[in-house]
Amino acid sequence: MNPTEPRSGPGALSEQRGFVSTQPATVSNSSQERQQALLQVDHLESGYDETRVLWDVSLEVRRGELVALIGANGAGKSTLLATLSGLLPAWTGYIRFAGHDITHRRAEEIVRLGLSHVPQGRRLFSALTVEENLLLGAYTRRAGSQQAIKQELEEVYALLPKLRERRRQLAGSLSGGEQQMCAIGRGLMSHPELLLIDELSLGLAPQVVDDLLNALDVIHREKGLSLLLVEQDVQIALERADRAYVLENGHIVLEGTGHELLQNERVRTAYLGA
């Protein structure tokens, strides 16, 4: 993950993301790494000032996985993501990402290691243009990597063509769906290995959600980007996820593959209204 290293093509791209490519050299490397989780969270506790929100949370995301995190409003999903990305300090426990202990690292450092967080509510820089927002997503790239940044920008525009149309528009003037696209595009501009997305579909029309999910599918499958997705539409989330966790009152109460949880009685009654 040397950010200044110019990328030469899809091969180099997948290698950096630890994607199982067709090149033999990376196969052995990746299969070795796949034994170990990309993100490993052990007995994590965290919260705000005096209020404890997360209790003994353990989970993992392996390379190339799409993991869903579901749970009711106020369960602590956003708090968990903010703790992972370093916006909130961890109280106790252990967070390991891509071979680094990031438990006590700051957000500014964690994004440089390849963990990118698309926060709830998008949090765009609304008085800046779409393209300025995207370029700030590549802020971690040092000067001299102009070419790589340009290429990344092209990739994001290719993935989310609406953003190219809107690139000179102020981010605050976009529709909700376009804002979410911009937020995801911005999150991708740092060239992450793992993307955390908080409430992808909240407040968006079904068609827009489909478009976004398809775009994420492309980078997930083709480029091996790992995803941790917080999603209130449990059906959508579990259908797509390799694995999923259920968070209730700051505790992980269930985990399994997406299909296992779709069949699970507790999930069906509590989250699918069945």
Partner 1 sequence: MLVLAVRSLPVRRLPFHREVSAMLIAQVIVNWLLLGSLYAAVALGFSLVWGIMNIVNLAHGAFILVGAYTAYWAFTQLHIDPFLGLPLTMLLLFCLGWVVQYVAINRVIRAPFLVTFLLTFGLDLLIADVVQLLFTSDRRSINTAYSGFGLTLGTLHIPFDRLLAALIAVLLTAALSLFLQRTRTGNAILATGMDRDAARLMGIRIDRIYALTFGLGAALAGAAGAMLVELYPFDPSQGGVFTLRAFVIVVLGGLGTPWGALAGGLVFGLAETVVPLLPGIGPGYDDAIAFALMVLVLIFRPRGILGKAFYA
Ligand X SMILES: Nc1ncnc2c1ncn2[C@@H]1O[C@H](COP(=O)(O)OP(=O)(O)O)[C@@H](O)[C@H]1O
Distance CA 60, CA 72 (A): 20
Q: Is 78 in the site for ligand X (CB under 6 A)?
A: yes
Q: Do the strands 226-230 and 194-198 form a parallel or antiparallel pair, or are they unpaired?
A: parallel
Block residue for tokens 């243009």: 129
Which one, 199 or 211, has the nearer CB to Mg ion?
199
Distance CA 152, CA 68 (A): 26
| Segment interacting with partner 1, rule: CB under 8 A, options 28-36, 82-90, 199-207, 261-269 | 82-90
Q: If we measure between CA atoms, which residue out of 76, 80, 62 comes closest to residue 19? A: 62
Which one, 22 or 51, has the nearer CB to ligand X?
51
Q: Is 79 in the site for ligand X (CB under 6 A)?
A: yes
**Near partner 1 in 107-136, by CB under 8 A:** 107-108, 111-112, 116-117, 119, 123-128, 132, 135-136
**Could you say which of 13, 37, 53, 261 contacts ligand X (CB under 6 A)?**
53
| Segment interacting with partner 1, rule: CB under 8 A, options 34-42, 48-56, 139-147, 210-218 | 139-147
* 107 touches, from ligand X, partner 1, Mg ion, none (C-beta below 5 to 8 Å by class): partner 1
| Segment interacting with Mg ion, rule: CB under 5 A, options 11-19, 73-81, 155-163, 181-189 | 73-81
Which phi and psi angles does 115 have, rounded to 5°? -110, 115
Give the per-residue contact string, 178-207, with partner 1 (x = CB under 8 A; - = no): --------x---x-----------------
* 42 touches, from Mg ion, partner 1, ligand X, none (C-beta below 5 to 8 Å by class): none
* 100 touches, from ligand X, partner 1, Mg ion, none (C-beta below 5 to 8 Å by class): none
